[in-house]
Amino acid sequence: MEACHSGRTVNIYCDAVVSNRDRNDGVQLGAASAVLYQDGREQGHTERVFGESVMVTDAMTRSLTPGLEALATLLATKSAQYRALIVFLLPSVLALNKILDISPHDKQAASLGHLTKLGELFHTYPNITVRLQWLPRKVPFIGFRRARQLAFEAIRTADTTDLHEPQSIKKQKAATKRAAIATWESLYYDNP
């Protein structure tokens, strides 16, 4: 973290929560946020609200998305020759293992999106180095506290009418199964 204070690295803390805290309607939503630190100070942050059907692991795996958005915003102010070590810090080993995994799994679409965005950034800024690291949430870094605070605030203020929830394969299968059973039930009751 000392390298961040000296300006040699950019640290991006990514975190996610699922909560209904302080929401008037009581709807439980998932959200992820990222806080970017450079020169030992917060330089930017982004939040993303996912919706009601998102589980904690889904939100945590998608927590790299706001981190990449924060990085893209920072890099937009730099020249193409900008050189830095970018460290994404995440509090979940499980999410870290799935974030860039393109093999078939529930969150594959998010992983492909992350890789696409990273590819674009590397193409535009070939001198940056990106590292993904696990850091326990219980370690008292202000970055994780700030990221959680921003995620809770995003959930509290989210307008649920504009949310486009990411649909995992698991959620799609469950929705299809429920619809099929409902159709079969109505057909059976209409004509046993």
Two tokens, residue 158: 């989210």
DSSP 35-56: EEEETTEEEEEEEEEEESS--H
Number of structural domains in the chain: 1
pLDDT tens readout for residues 5-25: 556 799 999 999 998 888 888
- Answer whether residue 94 is part of any domain: yes
Grouping H, G, I as helix, E, B as strand and the rest as coil, residue 14 is: strand
- Answer whether residue 176 is part of any domain: no
Q: Per the confidence metrics, is the pTM higher than 0.85?
A: no
- Answer whether residue 191 is part of any domain: no
Among residues 12, 80, 58, the alpha carbon closest in space to that of 172 is found at: 58
Residue 166 has pLDDT above 60, yes or no: no
Q: Locate tokens 């390298």: which residue?
A: 3
17: domain CATH number is: 3.30.420.10
Domain ranges, residue 26: 2-163
* Cα separation, 157 vs 100, whole angstroms: 30
- Answer whether residue 168 is part of any domain: no
Q: What pLDDT, on a 0 to 100 scale, did the predictor assign at position 130?
A: 95
- Answer whether residue 43 is part of any domain: yes
Residue 104 has pLDDT above 90, yes or no: no
- Answer whether residue 127 is part of any domain: yes
- Answer whether residue 169 is part of any domain: no
